[in-house]
Structure 1
Amino acid sequence: MDHYAGIDVSVQSSSVCVVDATGKIIREGKVASEGVALVEWFSMLGVKIVRVGLEAGPLSQWLYAHLRQAGLAVELLETRHVNNAFKTMPVKTDRKDARGIAELVRLGWFRPVHCKSIEAQETRAVLTARKLVQSKLHDVEMCLRGVLRNFGLKVGKTTPRDFPFRIKELVAGNPILEGIAEALLRAREALLREFNGFERQVRRMARANPRARLLMTTPSIGPLVSLTYASAIDDPSRFRSSKQVGPYFGLTPRKYQSGEIDINGRISKMGDDGVREALYQAAHVLLTRSIKGGALKSWAMRLAKRAGMQRAKAALARKLAVIMHRMLVDGKPFDFAAAAA
């Protein structure tokens, strides 16, 4: 008889449940969240496991790779779908979650999630670290501005290079503020140094990545956006059509239709926030700066006059996502004539 397994992953240990084709529980257990431990646990069962369900999460991709290498048919389950399926459960425990996941894979009521390649995960790790350092750098600068503003000292507009000199000029003569400024400026200098290091690394990675170089032939697409998009797509063949990329990144409108009610809402904003933000920034650059965009830019400008700049940016971001996916599939650089279609 066929059997199905569900794994609820936690940092230290994972709850595992195995059910048969009728839904009867065959085995439950608590296993260390290590690939070797899980593979050993399944090998000792002595039953045929048709499918293993694993909810997508921080450890899931690593465990997925171990289970796949061991020959187990593993599927990553979309977290949002799993959560919605479990909303009716009055009692939530790891044990019940594992059983619920086993039932989902037994019945086929799940949407599989693509497990990204190691290269894509490494790229995402660099981009995440860069964004964190950038955020903390901004926090330090805003903290300095806020502290000085309490004493009537206004920093005003400055360039990144002039910022520390302006701060020192304002706090001169006040020992307390001088001490605060000196400490925060040292922190800023360290963060700025690391951020510039990440910027150089991103440019090197983009130059070394054939897909990123291909995407950078698109107007307004630079190293950061190209790497962000390429690592999120990872395998272009997993989309049956390029048009599926728009909804995947949450760039298509929500829709609610019931009876005589038919409402088209704002974009869904589902999927990867970072990719959506990168595409939106690329659309903003294409619309607001003197960049050669051909018919693609003209189309977006006409839409902006009719529907407003914000909607035009969202629509252009969606169109860029579709075009770049087709470029990855075909392996061809940006075509100004084809982009107008």
Structure 2
Amino acid sequence: MDSANIDTVRPAPEAAKTAPKADVKALVTLCDPDMVAVNALITERMQSEVAVIPALAAHLIAAGGKRLRPLLCVAAARLCGTDNTHHYNLSAAVEFIHTATLLHDDVVDSSQLRRGKVAAHLIWGAPSSVLVGDFLFARAFELMVETGSLRALDILSKASAIITQGEVLQLMKAFDLNLTQADYIEIISSKTAALFSAASESGAVAAGASEDRIQALYSYGLNLGLAFQIQDDVLDYQGSAADLGKNAGDDFAEGKSTLPLILAMRASRDTDAAFWDRTIGKREQAPGDFERAQALMASSGALDEARAVARAYAEKARAALSIFDAGPWRQALENLAVYSVDRQT
């Protein structure tokens, strides 16, 4: 869907507005009754007579994670005043799609950690991880079909294809010194923001919302996803494994041209071009290189600039909600937009 029409949505009454804050707890609390049902459905549908499937799936699903994507689906449906429970199926499907992509990504990236635990492929092997990911994709489509909503099925199936395209594009662009900021935004729009927007959009569709509200929630999810991923990429150069649930510096080691890296290379090309050419262009990395990259990012202001871009997308996400009357659901989603940039994990 085209998010260009978001500027035409009507604002909520000024008197009812409350300043948003960086908070995800309000959304979690509001969604808790629905998420009890969603989590039960997730547990039920990841079962199989083949014992390795639920064991491997549970290793990642039970490891925690923020569950933001199913929370978005629930919140969108509730914000639109749903009178059914179709969002349960769609929320579980969204979580399965997300988990499947993580299982596949960890194999592709040879990741060591995921959500603070040893990556599944290191325990059960890469073939099992890939195949269990495929199993979860199949379960996701079963859950979608059961809602009887062809539009929701269309939204989430297209998102699944877009996510894969984004991951392949990122793989093809690894160690590319010439990757532009526009290229980067294209990649994360596909690999991350597509599922955020599909989650919120499908929740609105499941609730039978009007077209303008569906469009608004699509835009909210898209811009939230962009803000969230940019902050993730900032944290890869600032955080620790204990906070991130994965090894800090993985993006640098894998040659992922994330926004902080693009901005740092641009700012220090006159003084440190040889360093970037060796570590990124020629893929020759040595001990201490990640720490030097971190220092260059800090001194160049690349991290602050990247976070400013993320904040601009978070503001676009908040603006998309102006079509809705003020209330706890809208407030919680506005808080989530602020949280997406201010979080440290």
TM-score (normalised: structure 2):
0.30
> Would you tell me which structure has more strand in proportion to its own residues?
1
Select the structure with the greater relative contact order (CA < 8 A; seq sep ≥ 6): 2
> Would you tell me which structure has more helix in proportion to its own residues?
2
Bigger radius of gyration, 1 or 2? Answer: 1
